Structures are given as structure tokens and as C-alpha cells.
């Protein structure tokens, strides 16, 4: 039955005049218009549809909506709190209702006294906050009172009337259900103010932005996180929102434990959104993990740039950069090689490598003893990945300077057969205690495969043997132990001579002679050095003066013997028969005899008479 064809007109609208969605709870206002001259008392309205389920009636303890009185040519209202069937679709529905009332026609001058009672209805509304940029943001809900006036009869209803009848009218009222609700969600690791990176074995916040793309607010929202990727262990699975306004993303923060690294990518979180009273939707939220560290070993070099054989060490200069979008945490450096090895313990802890900021590292390494090409493996590991670069280390050969021979004058052995050598020591010094300006000649050879250039030789002899320094030129002490010998090609030899002085207190024996070679080589940034040790022997020098005296004595003796023999021979020839023998001489008679003597003196200033017979 059409409501305007009756003696009463029944209309319905929502209290807040905003769209109501399926499943939503809201206040429904029934307004009855009385176009007649009669009074309509004790009116009740009963809803006869499952589309609208009454929850409770305002200002009535019965199971119907109650209006005390509708004055002639007036209107009155009643309010019922209802829930809309969550399974209905959007639209305008004709809901059947039954209206019962008592119609009274008053003809006397005494009219019913009608007053209006104010009814306060608590209504939940959104709380809006204005940001610094002037944009309004829904920050919560609050309950505000909404008042409505309902007419009532003061006192009793007059008993004098022309007619009184009880009426029951069934009619349809149009109820608009034009609200709709829909949800979408995205997720991120971190909070709105701080995007973080999910590190293994750490707790991280997960922020889910839930948006109601409908046209009506949603109240009493509960979000339950049903499932997450295996890289996340959710700690709290439920969050509650008092309201979710349309069109505005609202962040919800959950917490999760990260047992292992989460690679970059999009992951799915399954959510259940409960709202209104008993209505729920299951939706998926996309968890975006944009941070992915990508570590790259940008460059590898050595210091010095050219590495030569038998260098004690070199430095690897590394440039490492993170070209990804996330921080590379727990980064470590490993260096492995068959020939070269790092001089610091491995792994080298690098820590966190932020994106876009190159890291310069200097790592000392030992070098192989033989020349050649050696592969150095350089690896950087970090949470979620690793990178390796292979570097060819070229150890270049170098010249090899060796001592072929060492010659120097030595004291001769004291013997009569070596008199010439003994006498030569008077003018030619030998390597003996107290000797000065003794020449030591060293033959040097380049046994290496490359040429040594600008060779400087330095001799080191210790305290017993010192480079000779001229007393007339003391400054020569600065260069007395050095000699420049120029270039030596592979296999070439050269002699270098140093003059040395031997300490007078030196004991006979072998003494070290250290030669230090410094030279340049093609491609070498720094001069190359090498030290070679050999030994020289200090022997005691013979006493030449003693030998001279002894030889003179021998010469004198020999000369004396020769002279004596010669004289004897001469005397024997000239005086033969000169001796006269006087026989038969008596006492007092003497026998004459000629006697020859010769005096011999030695080197000790003693003389003896020798009778020549």
C-alpha cells in the first residue's frame, strides 16, 4: 500500500543522513505525518523484514517503535537502532511495516495538552584533526549526543469525542542502503617515519596501510594477520581500529621476527578485516621489500703499482661500493691466493655498507718468492648475497746480483824460499792487523733475467775492518764505503775495489763482509735492494825486520867461513917448510911456531877468536 494514500504517511531515513552500508548498524528514524484533524495516540511501528534487524528501540522497552501521539496535521518520530543485512546489495528497498494506533476525533473545546520531549541519542562520529598543511585527517572516533523531540500528551486523553477507533495499517517504507565498503592494503617493513631493512635474527615492525575505498565510514574494525611469508614470524597478529574513514589509508603496525634474510621482492600477507558487527572480509596485502644491497668490488690495484720478485710485501688497494637500494649488513672480506696471502687475519669485518658510498680498503699482503702471474680471489659476503672478483697479480722478475769472487793481498808464509814475498810486504800492505789501505777487489755478476741500472754498492765491515779514510780529506768518509758501478746486463760481470784499514788489535780469523746493492729497474717505482754476505780472512803479518837481521847474520857467517877457508889455502902454499924443528934442545931451549888468528863478530855484538890451523 502506498504510504501517501493512507490517512497517515510513514517515511524512514537514517539519523545522520549519511549512506549506510550492508552489515552496518545505524539509527533508523520513522516519521509519521498526520494529515487529518484527528489525534493519533499510542502509535506503534513494527518492522516486518529481515533486511532490517532491530537491535533496540529508543525510548521504548517493547519490541516495536513507539510514538505517544501524532497531533492533527502534525508529525512525530520514533527511532530504532538496526543492523542492515550484510548480504544485501546497494539499493533502495521497500520494507514492510505495521502501524497500530488509536484515532480520536475531539470535538470539544478541551484539547489534549501536547508537549515535546527531548530525546538524546548517543551517536558515534569520527574525530577529525587538521594537519599543519591544512589537510584534515581522521584520528579516531567519539560519541556525541544527537537530540530529537517527540510529542507526548500532558495529562489524560479527553474522554469526550465524536469517535474513537483502533487502526492497524500495513505499508511499505523506502529505506536507502546506498553505502558500500571495500578494503585494500599494502605493507612495508618499518614505520611511516622510518623505513627499515629486515635483518636476519632481528625484530622489525611491519606497517600495513588499510584503506576503505567505500563511501561510508567503517566502525569497530579488527584486522587479523592470517598468513605471512616464511621469512617472517609474526609476533602480534591482531590490531583494532575504532573507525576507518573512506578514502584515507590508516597504518596498522605489527611486529615480526626475521629468522633469515628476505630478498628484494613483493610478498603476500593475508588479512581478515572484521567490521560493523560480525561482518568480515578477507583481503591480501602486498608486502614490498624494496631494499636489496648489491655489493660490487669496483677496482683492485697494488701499491706499488708494479710488484717485483722478493719484495717483502705489497698492498692491495680495494674499492668496494654498494650499488643496491639497501644497506649491506654484516659484510666481511675474504682474500685467498696460492702465492700471495694477507698479512691480517681473515675475514676482515667490514660491518654495514650503505648504498652509494664507496669504501677504500688497504690490505697488506705477502708476495711469492718466484715471479709469475698469481690469481687472487677477493670475496665480500653480506646478508643476502656475496660478490667475488679475481685479480691477476703479476710478480715481475728482477736482477739478481751475486758475488763471484773476492780477492785481497794476504801475508806470505815466513820461509827462506818466500823471501821476495816477505820483502814486498814492506811496500804492499796485506790484510793483517794494523794494515792500512788494503785493497779488496770484489767481482759482481748479474745472474738475473733483467738489467740492473744505476747500481750503487755499499760495503759494511764492522769495527775490525773499516773503509780507509784519508787523513788529508776527512769528508771522504761519506763515500769511502760506497761505489757506483753503473749498469749490469744479464750475465755481465764487473769488479769493484775498496780500500780498508785493519784494526791493530784485530785477531786473526774470518770476518763478514756485507755488500748492499741498490739499483733501478724498468717499471719499478722504488729502487730495488739486495744484501750479500761474504767472509774475508785476517792473518798475522811476519816480522820482516827479524828476518832481515837473521839473514844478515847468516850472510856474515857464510862470508866469514868463506874467508877463512880462503886464507887457509893461501897460508898453506906460502909457508910450507917455514916451521923449523930444533931437536935435542934442552931445558930453556924454545921451539919456534907460527900461529894465525882471525876474529869473527856476530849480529849480537859478540866476537870470538878463531885459530886458523
Confidence of residue 107 (pLDDT cuts 50, 70, 90): low
354: pLDDT strictly greater than 50 = yes
Q: What is the pLDDT of residue 16?
A: 80
Burial class (CB in 10 A: 0-12, 13-18, 19+), 331: buried
Measured CA to CA, the distance from residue 286 to residue 269 in angstroms comes to 6
Helix (H, G, I), strand (E, B) or coil at 556: helix
Query: Which grid cell is 30?
Result: 520513522
**φ and ψ at 347, to 5 degrees?**
-80, 155
Strands 279-289 and 183-191: parallel
Measured CA to CA, the distance from residue 328 to residue 350 in angstroms comes to 10
Confidence of residue 301 (pLDDT cuts 50, 70, 90): very high
Measured CA to CA, the distance from residue 297 to residue 353 in angstroms comes to 12
Query: Which grid cell is 46?
Result: 513494527
The answer on 285 and 189 residing in a single domain is yes
Q: What is the pLDDT of residue 488?
A: 93
Q: Indicate the pTM of the whole model.
A: 0.56
- Provide the β-strand partners of residue 130: 136
Confidence of residue 335 (pLDDT cuts 50, 70, 90): very high
Q: What is the pLDDT of residue 524?
A: 83
Q: Domain boundary at 497, 513, 538, which?
A: 538
Question: Is residue 109, in this structure, part of any structural domain at all?
Answer: yes
585: pLDDT strictly greater than 50 = no
DSSP states of 321-376 as a string? EE-SSS-EEEEEEEEEESS-EESS-SSEEEEEE-BT--EEEEEEEE--SS-EEEEE
161: pLDDT strictly greater than 60 = no
The answer on 516 and 424 residing in a single domain is yes
Q: What is the pLDDT of residue 479?
A: 74
Looking at the chain, the whole-number percentage of residues with pLDDT higher than 70 is: 80
Measured CA to CA, the distance from residue 230 to residue 260 in angstroms comes to 9
Confidence of residue 578 (pLDDT cuts 50, 70, 90): very low
Measured CA to CA, the distance from residue 151 to residue 112 in angstroms comes to 12
The answer on 420 and 337 residing in a single domain is no
**Section 31-35 average pLDDT:** 92
The answer on 259 and 168 residing in a single domain is no
Confidence of residue 109 (pLDDT cuts 50, 70, 90): low
DSSP states of 413-439 as a string? P--GGGHHHHHHTTTS--SSTT--SEE
Q: What is the pLDDT of residue 428?
A: 64
Question: Is residue 475, in this structure, part of any structural domain at all?
Answer: yes
460 close to 507: Cβ distance less than 8 angstroms? no
The answer on 422 and 358 residing in a single domain is no
Confidence of residue 321 (pLDDT cuts 50, 70, 90): very high
| Alpha-carbon torsion (563, 564, 569, 574), positive or negative | positive
Question: Is residue 350, in this structure, part of any structural domain at all?
Answer: yes
Count of structural domains, the chain: 4
Question: Is residue 428, in this structure, part of any structural domain at all?
Answer: yes
Write out pLDDT tens, residues 522-561: 888 888 888 999 898 888 876 555 556 666 777 778 887 8
Question: Is residue 468, in this structure, part of any structural domain at all?
Answer: yes
Task: Cis check for the bond before 347: say yes or no (omega within 30 of 0).
Answer: yes
Confidence of residue 480 (pLDDT cuts 50, 70, 90): confident
Measured CA to CA, the distance from residue 577 to residue 597 in angstroms comes to 20
Q: What is the pLDDT of residue 591?
A: 47
The answer on 201 and 114 residing in a single domain is no
Measured CA to CA, the distance from residue 97 to residue 45 in angstroms comes to 6
* Upper half-sphere CA count for residue 173 (Cβ side, 13 Å): 27
Residue identified by cell 769511502 is 480
**φ and ψ at 4, to 5 degrees?**
-85, -5
Q: Write the CA distances from 167 to 49, 151, 436, 561, integer angstroms.
A: 21, 20, 153, 191
Q: What is the pLDDT of residue 261?
A: 81
**Section 262-290 average pLDDT:** 87
The answer on 93 and 64 residing in a single domain is yes
Helix (H, G, I), strand (E, B) or coil at 559: helix
Confidence of residue 2 (pLDDT cuts 50, 70, 90): very low
DSSP states of 256-312 as a string? EEE-S---SEEEEEEEEEEETTTEEEEEEEEEEE-----EEEEEEEEESSSEETT-S
Measured CA to CA, the distance from residue 502 to residue 461 in angstroms comes to 10
Q: Across 154-163, 236-245, 289-298, 314-323, which has the greatest mean pLDDT?
A: 314-323
Closest CA to 8 of 106, 103, 148, 105: 103
Lowest mean pLDDT among 37-51, 162-176, 478-492: 162-176
CB count in 10 Å sphere of residue 45: 23
Structural domain boundaries enclosing 348: 295-396
The answer on 409 and 354 residing in a single domain is no
586: pLDDT strictly greater than 70 = no
Question: Is residue 71, in this structure, part of any structural domain at all?
Answer: yes
Strands 136-154 and 65-70: unpaired
Q: Who has greater pLDDT, 554 or 393?
A: 393
Lowest mean pLDDT among 107-111, 198-202, 462-466, 564-568: 107-111
Based on its alpha-carbon atoms, the radius of gyration of the chain, rounded to whole angstroms, reads 64
Confidence of residue 224 (pLDDT cuts 50, 70, 90): very high
Question: Is residue 3, in this structure, part of any structural domain at all?
Answer: no
Q: What is the pLDDT of residue 608?
A: 54
Query: Which grid cell is 352?
Result: 654495514
235 close to 257: Cβ distance less than 8 angstroms? yes
**Section 32-60 average pLDDT:** 89
Measured CA to CA, the distance from residue 147 to residue 120 in angstroms comes to 4
The answer on 245 and 148 residing in a single domain is no
DSSP states of 517-550 as a string? EEEE-TT-SS-EEEEEEEEEEE-PPP-HHHHHHH
The answer on 142 and 22 residing in a single domain is yes
The answer on 391 and 408 residing in a single domain is no
Q: Domain boundary at 229, 259, 289, which?
A: 289
587: pLDDT strictly greater than 60 = no
Q: Domain boundary at 538, 569, 592, which?
A: 538
Question: Is residue 166, in this structure, part of any structural domain at all?
Answer: yes
Q: What is the CATH number of the domain that holds 518?
A: 2.60.40.10
* Upper half-sphere CA count for residue 220 (Cβ side, 13 Å): 11
The answer on 477 and 352 residing in a single domain is no
Q: What beta strand segments (E) does 15-135 contain?
A: 25-33, 39-47, 52-57, 65-70, 75-84, 91-105, 113-130
Q: What is the pLDDT of residue 136?
A: 59
157: pLDDT strictly greater than 80 = no
Amino acid at each position: 500500500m502506498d504510504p501517501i494514500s493512507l490517512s497517515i504517511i510513514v517515511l524512514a531515513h537514517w539519523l545522520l543522513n549519511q549512506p549506510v552500508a550492508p552489515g552496518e548498524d545505524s539509527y533508523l528514524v520513522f516519521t509519521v505525518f498526520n494529515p487529518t484533524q484527528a489525534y493519533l495516540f499510542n502509535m506503534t511501528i513494527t518492522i516486518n523484514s529481515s533486511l532490517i534487524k532491530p537491535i533496540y528501540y529508543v525510548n521504548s522497552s517493547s519490541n516495536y517503535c513507539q510514538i505517544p501521539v501524532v497531533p492533527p496535521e502534525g508529525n512525530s518520530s520514533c527511532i530504532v537502532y538496526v543492523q542492515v543485512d550484510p548480504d544485501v546489495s546497494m539499493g533502495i528497498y521497500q520494507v514492510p511495516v505495521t502501524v497500530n494506533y488509536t484515532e480520536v476525533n475531539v470535538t470539544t473545546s478541551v484539547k489534549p495538552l501536547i508537549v515535546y520531549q527531548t530525546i538524546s541519542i548517543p551517536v558515534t562520529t569520527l574525530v577529525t584533526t587538521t594537519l599543519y598543511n591544512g589537510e584534515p585527517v581522521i584520528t579516531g572516533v567519539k560519541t556525541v549526543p544527537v537530540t530529537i523531540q517527540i510529542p507526548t500528551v500532558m495529562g489524560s486523553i479527553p474522554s469526550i469525542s465524536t469517535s474513537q477507533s483502533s487502526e492497524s495499517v500495513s505499508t511499505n517504507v523506502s529505506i536507502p542502503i546506498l553505502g558500500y565498503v571495500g578494503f585494500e592494503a599494502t605493507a612495508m617493513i618499518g614505520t611511516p617515519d622510518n623505513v627499515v631493512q629486515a635483518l636476519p635474527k632481528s625484530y622489525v615492525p611491519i606497517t600495513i596501510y588499510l584503506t576503505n575505498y567505500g563511501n561510508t565510514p567503517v566502525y569497530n574494525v579488527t584486522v587479523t594477520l592470517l598468513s605471512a611469508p616464511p621469512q617472517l614470524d609474526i609476533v602480534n597478529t591482531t590490531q583494532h581500529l575504532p573507525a576507518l574513514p573512506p578514502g584515507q589509508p590508516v597504518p596498522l603496525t605489527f611486529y615480526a621476527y626475521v629468522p633469515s634474510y628476505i630478498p628484494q621482492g613483493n610478498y603476500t600477507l593475508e588479512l581478515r578485516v572484521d567490521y560493523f558487527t560480525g561482518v568480515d572480509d578477507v583481503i591480501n596485502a602486498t608486502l614490498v621489500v624494496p631494499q636489496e644491497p648489491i655489493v660490487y668490488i669496483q677496482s683492485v690495484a697494488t701499491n706499488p703499482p708494479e710488484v717485483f720478485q722478493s719484495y717483502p710485501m705489497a698492498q692491495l688497494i680495494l674499492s668496494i661500493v654498494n650499488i643496491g637500494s639497501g644497506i649491506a649488513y654484516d659484510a666481511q672480506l675474504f682474500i685467498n691466493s696460492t702465492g700471495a696471502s694477507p698479512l691480517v687475519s681473515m675475514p676482515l669485518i667490514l660491518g654495514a655498507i650503505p648504498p652509494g658510498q664507496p669504501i677504500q680498503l688497504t690490505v697488506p699482503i705477502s708476495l711469492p718468492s718466484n715471479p709469475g702471474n698469481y690469481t687472487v680471489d677477493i670475496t665480500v659476503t653480506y646478508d643476502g648475497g656475496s660478490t667475488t672478483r679475481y685479480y691477476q697479480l703479476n710478480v715481475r722478475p728482477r736482477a739478481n746480483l751475486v758475488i763471484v769472487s773476492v780477492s785481497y793481498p794476504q801475508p806470505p808464509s815466513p820461509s827462506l824460499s818466500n823471501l821476495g814475498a816477505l820483502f814486498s810486504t814492506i811496500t804492499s800492505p796485506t790484510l793483517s792487523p794494523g794494515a792500512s789501505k788494503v785493497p779488496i777487489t770484489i767481482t759482481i755478476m748479474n745472474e738475473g733475467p733483467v738489467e740492473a741500472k744505476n747500481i750503487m754498492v755499499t760495503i759494511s765491515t764492522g769495527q775490525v775492518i773499516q773503509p780507509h779514510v784519508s787523513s788529508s780529506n776527512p769528508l771522504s768518509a761519506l763515500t769511502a764505503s760506497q761505489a757506483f758501478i753503473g749498469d749490469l746486463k744479464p750475465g755481465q760481470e764487473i769488479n769493484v775495489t775498496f780500500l780498508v784499514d785493519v784494526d791493530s788489535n784485530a785477531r786473526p780469523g774470518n770476518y763478514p763482509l756485507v755488500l748492499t746493492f741498490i739499483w733501478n729497474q724498468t717499471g719499478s717505482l722504488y729502487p730495488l735492494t739486495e744484501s750479500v754476505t761474504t767472509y774475508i780472512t785476517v792473518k798475522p803479518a811476519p816480522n820482516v825486520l827479524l828476518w832481515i837481521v837473521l839473514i844478515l847474520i847468516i850472510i856474515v857467517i857464510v862470508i866469514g867461513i868463506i874467508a877463512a877457508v880462503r886464507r887457509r889455502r893461501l897460508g898453506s902454499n906460502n909457508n910450507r917448510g917455514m916451521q923449523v924443528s930444533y931437536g935435542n934442545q934442552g931445558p930453556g931451549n924454545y921451539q919456534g911456531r907460527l900461529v894465525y888468528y882471525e876474529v869473527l863478530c856476530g849480529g849480537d855484538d859478540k866476537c870470538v877468536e878463531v885459530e886458523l890451523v
